A and B are shown apart, each in its own frame.
Chain A
Amino acid sequence: MNNNNNKKNFKTPEGYFEGFSDRLLDRISNANNDPKSSLLPESDGFSLPDGYFDSLNKSIQDRLNDNAPKVIALNSRRKLYYYAAAAVAAIGLLAIGLRTNNTSEPTFEGLANTEIEEYFEFNDLGLTTYEIAEVIPVDELDISDIMDDKLEEENIIDYLDNSIENIEELNLTEYEY
């Protein structure tokens, strides 16, 4: 290594190497500590009743005891009545359903627009893009016809996070938005 040549061509600020390891260690320890904002208050003002935490354990235990499975006496006769009532109700509903004879054919007037939209969205009609283009007036289309939700920052960050190996390389925290 030709150290003498290096020293002739390049210079460093005075005392640079003396303080280097201290500066580096400070930076490493601050890596997890974002500085507190001077605009934000130190505390958020919430309080709670005195002794709350002291009684919490008992409250939870009481709830756990309440949730413990209870022994229910079997009453077979009552159950028989319930089954009978359910059977009668079912037969009654079936009879009503069979008697009504709806012969009228469905029309488009009875359909809501949302029902028609849902039909197109959840059914594969096998239409080609040319067939769709024939019925949609392309000249009158706007981006808001296709995308009606504004893209949220959170969704953009999640997308970037999942698509890039290391989102930190984008230095997003260095930019002012």
Chain B
Amino acid sequence: MIAEETLLHELKQLETQARAFEVLVNTYKERLYWHIRRIVLNHDDTDDVLQNTFIKVYKNINGFKGDSKLYSWMYRIATNEALTFLKKKSNKLGISDTELKDKMVSNLQADVYFEGDEIQLKLQKAIATLPEKQKLVFNMKYYQEMKYEEISAILDTSVGGLKASYHLAVKKVESFLKED
């Protein structure tokens, strides 16, 4: 895998930018896809947000000063794009964030790209009840298995705060799954 510094340098040079951008997309597309998917749930919406994320990265790469890791910056953009997408969707439908989350989870059963069983569907309902930060931390820690330090750089929260949030999130999800 190309070193991040080299990739960043090539992304900022006109003659190497196109090729470097292709490498960037290939390197991070899956990780970012699943990060976004766990926020917006639906494949088509994820595709939109993922493309928006990469386009935003492409357009703003010259402004990236390297004060954080490239992937932390990209994850931050992806997170913000996904959350903004949900906000716009709830405004467009004229419903609250909570109502939108419930609607999205109830649509999963009919979603051709959701192959989960009853417990996995119940898990999504449980995750939908979590406050925003706990949901993000839970998904990033439990399913993406990111280190706390990586999550801290993306969400701009201390490792200690993240551990507390994660602990709360896991307890709530477990408790929800135990209910009938």
* Residue ranges of A at the interface with B (Cβ–Cβ < 8 Å): 32, 34, 36-37, 39-41, 43-49, 52-53, 56-57, 59-60, 63-64, 67, 152-154, 157-158, 160-161, 166-168, 170, 172-173, 176-177
Contact = CB atoms under 8 A, between A and B. Distances in A.
Nearest to A57: B25
Contact of A173 (B119, B121, B131, B164): B164
B168 A44 contact: no
Contacts of A161: 157-158, 160-161, 164
Contacts of A67: 55
Contacts of A176: 171
Contact of A153 (B41, B116, B121, B168): B168
B116 A152 contact: no
Interface in B26-70: 26, 29-30, 33-34, 37-38, 41, 43, 47, 50-51, 54-55, 58
A160 B106 CA distance: 35
A57 B120 contact: no
Size class of B's contact patch? Answer: 35 or more
Interface in B135-157: 141-143, 147-148, 157
Interface string B154-180: 000111110111111011011001100
A76 B6 CA distance: 48
Given A32-B148, A53-B29, A157-B164, A45 B157 contact: no
A44 B120 contact: yes
Given A40-B173, A44-B116, A64-B58, A57 B121 contact: no
Given A39-B178, A45-B115, A56-B50, A34 B166 contact: yes
A64 B55 contact: yes
